[in-house]
Amino acid sequence: MRRLAQLLAAGEVTSTELVRRCLEQIKERTELNAFITVDEEGALAQAAESDARRVRGEALSPWDGIPLAIKDNISTKGLRTTCASRFLQNYRPVFDATVVERVKKAGLPIIGKTNLDEFAMGSSTEYSAFGVTRNPYDLERVAGGSSGGSAAAVAAEMVPWSLGTDTGGSIRLPAAFCGVVGLKPTYGRVSRYGVVALAPSLDQVGPLARTVEDAAALFALIAGADPKDATSAGSPAFQVPTWDGVVLRGLRIGVPEEFFGDGVSPEVRAAVRGTLESLEQEGAILKPVSLATNEYAIETYLTLVTAEASSCLARFDGVRYGERVAAPDSNTMFARSRGAGFGPEVKRRIMLGTYVLSASHYEAYYEQAQRVRTLIKREVEKAFEQVDLIVTPTTPATAFRIGERRDPLQMYLSDLFTATANLSGICALTLPCGRDSQGLPIGLQIMGSHFQEELLFQAAHAVEEIVQRGASSEL
C-alpha cells in the first residue's frame, strides 16, 4: 500500500486509474461472486474527488484515493446494504456506519459491498441469498465466512484491502482460507455503530489486506472511541508500528497443545510448528500454555450467539423496512414476511436462540454459557500472565469443498480455534504461513491480550518476513 501511496503522491497514477483497474478485475473474476453490489459510478466519483484534492495539494491522508470494499452488513448511506438476505435485498441506509465515515474521511473510494453468509451467520459464505463466494485458489472450494467476499476480493486483487466483521472467526477464517491477513480487534477498539448486529457482545469490525503492514494501516483509520457506540472502549488511538525490525529475542510465545491435536490436518500442524521453530531460531521463547477451556468454546459461543441473534433479528418484522408479504392481519404478515425473507440457517439460529432464552431453559443454557465464558476469559488472562502472545493454527484444515459440510454441526466446528478470542474479547490476527499439497493457503493465528494490537502487528510482520524468506529459499 505504501507503494501505491507513493505513486499517487508522485502523480504517476491517479485514483481514477486505480478504481478502473479494480472494476476491471471484478468483471474478470465474476465467477468468484465476491460482490453483492458494485458501485461503479460512486467509486469513480469519489476517485475523481481524490484526484482533485491531490492537484490542489489537499490529500486527506497518505492513503487518499486507494479504493476498498465493505462487507455488506455495514451500513453505507444510499448504497444498498443487504446482509446477503432477501429480507433486506432493497434496503438503502440513510446513514453511514462510523467505520465507513472514517474511511471516507481518509479519502478512500468505496468500490462496493462484498458477499457474506446471511446476516453473518456462517463459516463458508454458502448461506448467502446471492449465491456462494468461491475461493480464488480453487473455485470448487469455499472462501470461508462469514466475510468470504471481503477475503476473496482482496486475494483476487479486486481491491487492495477491505473491511469485514468477526463474531466467532468471520474475518480470520476466510482470511486463512484465501491466503490474506485478517485482524479481529480487541472488543470495543473499533466502533460497531452502523453494523447490522449478529451478537453485540461478540461482533467486531476489522481489516483484511494482502500484507500485515496494509492491515495495520487500515486498522489505524477505523480504530478509536466512538460516542455513538455504548460498547466503545476509551483506549488510546492506535499508532501504526514502525517496521524497522521487531526484536523477537526474548518475546514469549505461548503454544497451547490443545490446538495441535488429532483433529488438525497434518499439513496445517507441520506448517504452524515449522513457523514456530523459525521464530525460536530468531530468539523467541516458546512456552507451553494451557487453554483447556477451548474444549467448551464452540458450545458456549453457539449458545450465546444464537441467543443474541434471536433478540437482534426480532426487529426485522416487515413493518418499517425490509421484505413484506401481504397478509390479512399484522401477525400473519409478520410470520409470512420473516418466513419468506430469512434463509434456513438464519431461521435455525433464531429458533435455537429463542429456545435457550425461554423461561424453562434460560438457566440451563444461557446462564450456564455465560459462566463458562467467564472461565474461558479467566484462563486466557492467566495465560497472558506467562506469555506475550499465543500462536495457534487459524483453522484445523484448509478450505473445504463447496457443499461438503451439509451438517450444521460440522460447519460450526470451523470456528473451533477462533471463537475463544471473541468470547474473551482479546485481539487476534491471521496470516498465511504456507500452502498444503493442493496449493491451498494455511493460516497461522496470533492472539494478543486486550489492546495489544501494536505488538500483534509487529510480531505478525516478523512472521511474514520469515515465511517469505522460506518461500524464496524453496524457489
Q: Is 170 a catalytic residue?
A: yes
Given the residues 15, 124, 170, 424, the one annotated as active site? 170
Cell 458494485 sits on residue: 38
Q: Is 146 a catalytic residue?
A: yes
The DSSP bridge pattern shows strands 110-114 and 35-38 to be: antiparallel
Q: For residue 74, what are the β-bridge partners?
A: 195
Omega before 146 within 30 of 0, i.e. cis: yes
The C-alpha atoms of residue 51 and residue 65 are separated, in whole angstroms, by: 7
Cα dihedral: 102, 108, 110, 114 (round 10): -70
Q: Is 104 a catalytic residue?
A: no
The C-alpha atoms of residue 382 and residue 387 are separated, in whole angstroms, by: 9
The C-alpha atoms of residue 183 and residue 216 are separated, in whole angstroms, by: 9
Grid cell for residue 248: 523477537
Q: Check: CB of residue 50 under 8 Å from CB of residue 82.
A: no
Given the residues 75, 85, 128, 146, the one annotated as active site? 146
Given the residues 71, 124, 147, 278, the one annotated as active site? 71
- DSSP assignment of 230-249: TT---PPPP-PPP-S----T
CB atoms within 10 A of CB 207: 31
CA angle 464, 467, 468 (to 5 degrees): 85
The C-alpha atoms of residue 328 and residue 236 are separated, in whole angstroms, by: 54
* Cα 61 from chain centroid (whole Å): 24
In the chain, the N- to C-terminal Cα span, in Å, equals 25
Grid cell for residue 272: 504452524
Q: Which residues are catalytic?
A: 71, 146, 170
